[in-house]
A and B are shown apart, each in its own frame.
Chain A
Amino acid sequence: MSNFTKKQVSDLVKGSLDWDTLHMMLSMPKDKERYANYMSVLQDQVSWDDKIIMAFGPHLYLAETTADKTLVTKCSCGHDFGDYRTNWKLNALVYVRDDEEKMQEVYPKLMAPDTNWQVYREYYCPTCGVMHDIEAPTPWYPVIHDFQPDIPALFDWLDLPAPVNA
């Protein structure tokens, strides 16, 4: 299959990849080197050394620590949210928009949901303050655990050795 360079993958992450290349990437099966290139592009964006295994969001990663090979959720600033199997949101700062006034900071009047039915919960990194996620549940709903990846299955597909603590 087409092989894409690390520069092209980097442009993809930055959102500056030209459309023709992007279209080809979307239409073709992934090349063998894609995972390694993608992870290496992500790794270049952070200042810490723990090995990135997967991206959860623009600033949130699943990483394998160099110290003891545990798998943790990490912010791009280096903040550690703990074991990847527990919901990282439980260790984040949260701001809840649960009245009309707070809603009007982000939406015009009458264009936001009724907060008796729906609230916004914004999750921030306690160290650097970057916003990692927003969820929009009913007010009484528990904190949502977005997903928990099946790491051994992923590495099986990639045909690469899985992290020891997966």
Chain B
Amino acid sequence: MNQLTNPVEVLGIDAGGTMTDTFFVRADGEFVVGKAQSNINESQAVLESSTDALAHWDRKVEDVFPEMVTCVFSGTAMLNRVVGRKGLRTGLIVSKGFEDFHRMGRAIQSYLGYAFEDRIHLNTHRYDEPLVDIKDTRGVTERVDSQGNVVIAVRLHEAREAARELIEQGCQAIVISLLSSYLYEDHEKAVRDACKEVAREMGVDIPVFASVDYYPVRKESHRTNTTILEAYAAEPSRATLGTISDSMKAVGGQFDLRVMASHGGTISWKAKELARSLVSGPIGGVIGAKYLGEKLGYENIACSDIGGTSFDMALITKNNFAIHKDGDMARLVLSLPLVAMDTIGAGAGSFVRIDPHANAIKLGPDSAGYRVGTCWPEGGVDTVSVTDCHIILGYLNPENFLGGILELDVDRARREIKRQIADPLGLSVEDAAAGVIELLDLSLRQHLRAMITGKGYSPTDFVCFSYGGGGPVHAYGYTKGLGFKETIVPAWAAGFSAFGCATADFEYRYDKSVDIGITDESTQGEIADATTTLQAAWNELRDKVLEEFRINGFKDEEVTLTPGYSMQYLGQLNDLEIDSPLTVLSGAEDWDVLVQSFNDTYARVYADAARSPELGYGITGAIMRGSVVTKKPNIPEEPDAGPTPSEESRQGTRPFYYEKEWVDADIFKMELLQPGNEVKGPAVIESDATTYVVPPGFETFLDVNRLFHLIESK
């Protein structure tokens, strides 16, 4: 096809710890996936991966970048900087007497990210090093009470002294977080200005971050951690992203580099609040599933993503995903909105061991990761992994693992499974390995079921999307018998997160805590005050959103603003986040509209009968989202080529062990299957980056959008 009429438009980048994936999409929806080993020099890895991808189309980076219109990056570098405590040396100024709260941490931080067994096993609980050392922390005398009243006026000479000491000690940024500042911001702002003034007098140029300028929300541990991250990790990352952006400009890129953010939108690398790009990897998949669902008419989707180390699940209901308001990342409680996901630490590369006391198979919690398992002697792993079991049972092709870049030793895997698992249990090697896979599938199935039924839904209302490098291998196993409407495996499962990033909106979202409570006894005046308070919060947030877009050269009128609020029944603990039915509030009469909208949402999310309006209604937070139109990838659409796979797609057969017997599975090359093709199990459909397993009793067909549909035939 003519390259000029069919340019490459969209690029998604997923820079993981071991591999940097790129996902290029042409105007007609055709895509290529590129892979390169991740590198300290991230811009180099991105370019190498791009070169690898574009080679499929016989095109060069220098030719393609100038014609692209959008690029979204997601990576783990910032997360690694936080986990490895390699951030910018940051000074912290807090209310006097509260200097220790940051290093004490919230109790939950001692077990965040732990497997369930460890969460209830107190001995394993441990606090990580604080981001800011106590030596770099100063208190300033001031106090605002929980209603926002000044109890002690701020002593600015102490702030000046603190700033001077911190700068002299070598701090490269200063963060200010005072008690209850979200209710009364003047103290923090005065301290911020004093710090800037001192820095100027001392002739140094360091950034100063006041929590009210970024996260004016309640819960000081969350707010402080998040503001510290802006200084500690986001500023250094901004420099890295700038380098990547420059290197893309150098090869002709005309687009603005965007970054995937925890709230499910993408933001510019120049954004003020960059800390929210700390986590992005698994979110990409959820956004991608939502996008596919909207385009293809699936409104309820159970997303499942299996990588080497974890299984991530999320639910999309009526084309919406849920947002957690206080997300946690890197074992820190944060004030960041985060796409709600459930994660368990079991994946395709989990280690398999025998509990010597219970004599039972135990999976994980650790995994072989990029070292694969005992089947790859160079990886240096001595413990059997789930991958080893897949290799010896014929699920995975040892000749074509990751496109054949690793040479695998099947005999070594057999020997180790026999020695470590089969012999102690008195089983044959095949039955032991099959038992491992069955156990993993069972555990994933139970978690998936629990996530759906736990929210009051039934799997029969959902379509299950299965992606990630390991998703297609396990899709049959963890969906079997759950009763999903359909199980769908995209042909680009391994690059689905990168694809998802490219489908995300260019969207900023800002939050502010408000305290509004309206009961039956509230007067019209009080209700009018409540709407004024909410509108004022919206106005403040709107200015922030518009300011972010102005940095990227968007005019105010190009931005679509969506105000929202978090409402709850007074007396309940949890609130619900909803888009406001009104864009502007003009008085007490609007209150009923907000309440009505909340009641309707509550009835939809839970049940009509569960509503409890007796004590009145409260609003806990104001939200403002703003977005601009961006180019998104088209979904491929190819002509139906009939049910019979072509001869060249057939790669022969391979022995495959399933339900206690060896059968011959037909092997297919995924890229050569055509829309409409039907494949009956036992079959294994292989591509470089993933393997799709269709066991006996299952069948699959590829639709015109290159999605595989997995069907239980018996």
Q: Which residues of A contact B (CB under 8 A)?
A: 1-2, 19, 23-24, 26-32
Please give, as numbers and ranges, the residues of chain B lying within 8 Å of A2 by CB-CB distance. 353, 383
Residue B365 at the A interface, CB < 8 A?
A: yes
Q: What's the least CB distance linking B353 to chain A, in Å?
A: 5
Interface residue count on the B side (C-beta < 8 Å): 17
Please give, as numbers and ranges, the residues of chain B lying within 8 Å of A24 by CB-CB distance. 366
Residue B661 at the A interface, CB < 8 A?
A: no
Residue B117 at the A interface, CB < 8 A?
A: yes
Cα(A30)–Cα(B121), bound, Å? 15
Q: What's the least CB distance linking B59 to chain A, in Å?
A: 44
Q: Which of A26, A31, A32 contacts B121 (CB 8 A)?
A: A26
Q: Which residues of B contact A (CB under 8 A)?
A: 115, 117-118, 121, 123-124, 126, 353-358, 362, 365-366, 383
Is B357 a contact partner of A29 (Cβ separation < 8 A)?
yes
Is A27 a contact partner of B365 (Cβ separation < 8 A)?
yes
Please give, as numbers and ranges, the residues of chain B lying within 8 Å of A1 by CB-CB distance. 353-356, 362
Cα(A38)–Cα(B244), bound, Å? 52
Please give, as numbers and ranges, the residues of chain B lying within 8 Å of A26 by CB-CB distance. 121, 123-124
Q: What's the least CB distance linking A157 to chain B, in Å?
A: 9
Q: Which of B115, B355, B365, B383 contacts A29 (CB 8 A)?
A: B355
Q: What's the least CB distance linking B308 to chain A, in Å?
A: 18
Please give, as numbers and ranges, the residues of chain A lying within 8 Å of B117 by CB-CB distance. 27
Cα(A32)–Cα(B365), bound, Å? 20
Please give, as numbers and ranges, the residues of chain B lying within 8 Å of A30 by CB-CB distance. 356
Q: Which of A19, A27, A31 contacts B356 (CB 8 A)?
A: A31
Cα(A32)–Cα(B354), bound, Å? 12
Extra pairs beyond A1-B355, A28-B353 (6, CB < 8 Å):
A1-B354, A1-B362, A19-B126, A23-B126, A26-B124, A27-B117
6 cross-chain CB contacts under 8 A = A23-B126, A27-B115, A27-B117, A29-B355, A29-B356, A32-B356
Cα(A24)–Cα(B123), bound, Å? 11
Cα(A24)–Cα(B353), bound, Å? 13
Q: Ordered nearest first, which 3 A-B pairs have the shortest CB separation?
A: A26-B124, A29-B355, A1-B353
Q: Looking across the interface, which residue of chain B has its beta carbon closest to that of A1?
A: B353
Cα(A26)–Cα(B126), bound, Å? 12
Cα(A2)–Cα(B353), bound, Å? 8
Cα(A48)–Cα(B118), bound, Å? 39
Cα(A4)–Cα(B121), bound, Å? 21
Q: Which of A23, A29, A32 contacts B124 (CB 8 A)?
A: A23
Q: What's the least CB distance linking A15 to chain B, in Å?
A: 14
Please give, as numbers and ranges, the residues of chain A lying within 8 Å of B365 by CB-CB distance. 27
For A19, A24, A28, A30, which residue has the most chain B Cβ atoms within 10 angstroms? A28
Cα(A32)–Cα(B357), bound, Å? 10
Cα(A93)–Cα(B366), bound, Å? 49
Please give, as numbers and ranges, the residues of chain B lying within 8 Å of A27 by CB-CB distance. 115, 117-118, 121, 124, 365
For A24, A27, A30, A32, which residue has the most chain B Cβ atoms within 10 angstroms? A27
Cα(A58)–Cα(B355), bound, Å? 30
Cα(A32)–Cα(B126), bound, Å? 27
Cα(A19)–Cα(B353), bound, Å? 21
Q: Looking across the interface, which residue of chain A has its beta carbon closest to that of B117?
A: A27
Q: What's the least CB distance linking A113 to chain B, in Å?
A: 26
Cα(A30)–Cα(B366), bound, Å? 16
Q: Looking across the interface, which residue of chain A has its beta carbon closest to that of B382?
A: A3
Q: Looking across the interface, which residue of chain B has its beta carbon closest to that of A32?
A: B356
Please give, as numbers and ranges, the residues of chain B lying within 8 Å of A31 by CB-CB distance. 356
Please give, as numbers and ranges, the residues of chain A lying within 8 Å of B355 by CB-CB distance. 1, 29
Cα(A19)–Cα(B356), bound, Å? 24
Cα(A20)–Cα(B365), bound, Å? 12
Q: What's the least CB distance linking B495 to chain A, in Å?
A: 31
Q: What's the least CB distance linking B248 to chain A, in Å?
A: 37
Cα(A23)–Cα(B345), bound, Å? 15
Cα(A31)–Cα(B355), bound, Å? 9
Please give, as numbers and ranges, the residues of chain A lying within 8 Å of B126 by CB-CB distance. 19, 23
Please give, as numbers and ranges, the residues of chain B lying within 8 Å of A19 by CB-CB distance. 126
Cα(A1)–Cα(B353), bound, Å? 5
Q: What's the least CB distance linking B309 to chain A, in Å?
A: 15
Cα(A133)–Cα(B124), bound, Å? 26
Cα(A26)–Cα(B365), bound, Å? 13
Cα(A117)–Cα(B118), bound, Å? 39
Cα(A23)–Cα(B110), bound, Å? 13
Q: What's the least CB distance linking B26 to chain A, in Å?
A: 45
Q: Looking across the interface, which residue of chain A has its beta carbon closest to that of B351?
A: A2
Cα(A2)–Cα(B117), bound, Å? 17
Cα(A29)–Cα(B354), bound, Å? 10
Q: What's the least CB distance linking B475 to chain A, in Å?
A: 30
Q: Looking across the interface, which residue of chain A has its beta carbon closest to that of B124?
A: A26
Q: What's the least CB distance linking B432 to chain A, in Å?
A: 16
Please give, as numbers and ranges, the residues of chain A lying within 8 Å of B118 by CB-CB distance. 23, 27
Cα(A31)–Cα(B356), bound, Å? 7
Cα(A72)–Cα(B356), bound, Å? 31
Please give, as numbers and ranges, the residues of chain A lying within 8 Å of B366 by CB-CB distance. 24
Cα(A26)–Cα(B123), bound, Å? 7
Please give, as numbers and ranges, the residues of chain B lying within 8 Å of A29 by CB-CB distance. 355-358
Q: What's the least CB distance linking A63 to chain B, in Å?
A: 27
Q: What's the least CB distance linking B616 to chain A, in Å?
A: 47
Please give, as numbers and ranges, the residues of chain A lying within 8 Å of B383 by CB-CB distance. 2
Cα(A137)–Cα(B123), bound, Å? 27
Cα(A19)–Cα(B355), bound, Å? 22
Q: What's the least CB distance linking B360 to chain A, in Å?
A: 10
Cα(A19)–Cα(B128), bound, Å? 11
Q: What's the least CB distance linking A27 to chain B, in Å?
A: 5
Cα(A24)–Cα(B383), bound, Å? 14
Please give, as numbers and ranges, the residues of chain A lying within 8 Å of B353 by CB-CB distance. 1-2, 28
Q: What's the least CB distance linking B279 to chain A, in Å?
A: 22
Cα(A28)–Cα(B354), bound, Å? 10
Q: What's the least CB distance linking A146 to chain B, in Å?
A: 21
Cα(A19)–Cα(B362), bound, Å? 22
Cα(A24)–Cα(B118), bound, Å? 10
Please give, as numbers and ranges, the residues of chain B lying within 8 Å of A32 by CB-CB distance. 356
Q: Looking across the interface, which residue of chain B has its beta carbon closest to that of A31?
A: B356
Q: What's the least CB distance linking B569 to chain A, in Å?
A: 41
Cα(A28)–Cα(B124), bound, Å? 11
Q: Looking across the interface, which residue of chain A has its beta carbon closest to that of B365?
A: A27
Cα(A30)–Cα(B357), bound, Å? 9
Cα(A29)–Cα(B366), bound, Å? 14
Q: What's the least CB distance linking A52 to chain B, in Å?
A: 23
Q: What's the least CB distance linking B644 to chain A, in Å?
A: 50
Q: What's the least CB distance linking B247 to chain A, in Å?
A: 35
Cα(A26)–Cα(B122), bound, Å? 10
Please give, as numbers and ranges, the residues of chain B lying within 8 Å of A23 by CB-CB distance. 118, 124, 126
Cα(A23)–Cα(B357), bound, Å? 19
Cα(A1)–Cα(B421), bound, Å? 10
Q: What's the least CB distance linking B371 to chain A, in Å?
A: 15
For B123, B356, B383, which residue has the most chain A Cβ atoms within 10 angstroms? B356
Q: What's the least CB distance linking A38 to chain B, in Å?
A: 16
Please give, as numbers and ranges, the residues of chain A lying within 8 Å of B362 by CB-CB distance. 1
Cα(A148)–Cα(B25), bound, Å? 72
